[in-house]
Amino acid sequence: MNHTFKKTLYLMGTRITLYFKGEESELNVEEASQMLLRFEKIFSANDENSPIARLKKTAFIEPQRVNSDLFELIKIGREHSLSEDSSLNIAIGPLVKLWRIGFKEAHVPEHEKIIQILDLLKVDYIILDEKNESVFFLKEGIEIDLGAIAKGYFCDKIMAFFKKRGAISAMVDIGGNVLVYGESPTDESEWNVGIQNPFLPRGNLVASVKIKNQSVVTSGIYERVYKKGNNTYHHIFDRKTGYPIENNLASLTIIADTSLECDLYTTKLFGLDIAKILREVNSIEGMSAIIITKDGRLAHTDNLKNKITYNTITD
């Protein structure tokens, strides 16, 4: 007999919800929770003893072998960070640590300090050896930060595990990275996923979108901010200037078959203008985008025409 089991847990500084419909649902969700605990230990950039944090201290001396999952995500992140107009940069670690946006020590660093570390943000200073699954840094002070893409990677890994265990339907939600499979628990074939209103507190939705066997991820300048005087600083940085990206985007939502793809593209495309983002996403098969601008305008790719329902937006 097929049962459903749903669990909410708090890990990686965020709220995680796991849902499984199928045989041994509770056991499978508990095993998935253990997988997430293991991922947290490996990937945490804030735990000085985690394998990713240790690279900063050792990888500039000699190549360091790492866990296969960690190597795989570094490799994918590096590849997507290399293109010139990509706002994704896995070498952004020193800048994140300098600003500390999202932490209580957040501050606006001195301009000189920002300039000093810009050279450490070059992704081609990270050298990978696929045969040995090792990582080497060409300079001391380089620090990998996979925060922009790790949640998507975890979502996909958990969903692959659920499918392997014979899930009839399942959902993984890691801090807003939502990935669904099979039929919705509401007896509709599609799942209805809400899109956060970037101008209102969490839980206020600007739209909802119907998906099936897909993921939805939103990146926004409202997620982690630091206010000083009349200025508000968000956590998505421009690698060229060392300051938060400046454009008219309040949030970018990507819908794709995998949650990692969604993570990669919400970050990669965030520095582009709206027309460019829509053009790029319209050219990728199976991918969709929803854009909300700082002045409250909304746009979406052609393929969402009958899938999206908008609520009233309030600035």
C-alpha neighbours within 13 Å on the C-beta side of residue 242: 20
pLDDT in tens, 32-50: 999 999 999 998 877 888 8
- Angle at CA 220, nearest 5°, toward 217 and 226? 140
pTM of the model: 0.93
Lowest mean pLDDT among 145-149, 168-172, 201-205, 279-283: 201-205
Co-location of 56 and 100 in the same domain: yes
- Mean pLDDT across 141-146: 94
* Residue-range definition of the domain harbouring residue 103: 52-137
Please count the structural domains in the chain.
2
Q: Side by side, which strands form the sheet with 3-11?
A: 3-11, 14-22, 169-174, 177-181, 215-220, 249-256, 288-293, 298-300
Q: What value does the mean pLDDT of the chain take?
A: 92
**Nearest residue to 83 (alpha-carbon basis) of 303, 264, 255:** 264
Residue 36 is assigned to a structural domain of this protein = no
How high is the pLDDT of residue 47? 81
- Mean pLDDT across 156-175: 97
**Boundary (domain end) residue, out of 137, 158, 180:** 137
pLDDT at 70 over 80: yes
Co-location of 226 and 89 in the same domain: no
pLDDT in tens, 243-252: 988 888 999 9
pLDDT band at 313 (very low <50, low <70, confident <90, very high): low
pLDDT at 23 over 90: yes
Structure tokens at 273: 């203008």
* Element holding 225 (H helix, E strand): strand 225-228
Co-location of 117 and 256 in the same domain: no
**Boundary (domain end) residue, out of 78, 109, 137:** 137
**Boundary (domain end) residue, out of 78, 113, 137:** 137
Co-location of 304 and 260 in the same domain: yes
* 31 C-beta neighbours (distance < 10 Å), count: 15
pLDDT band at 1 (very low <50, low <70, confident <90, very high): low
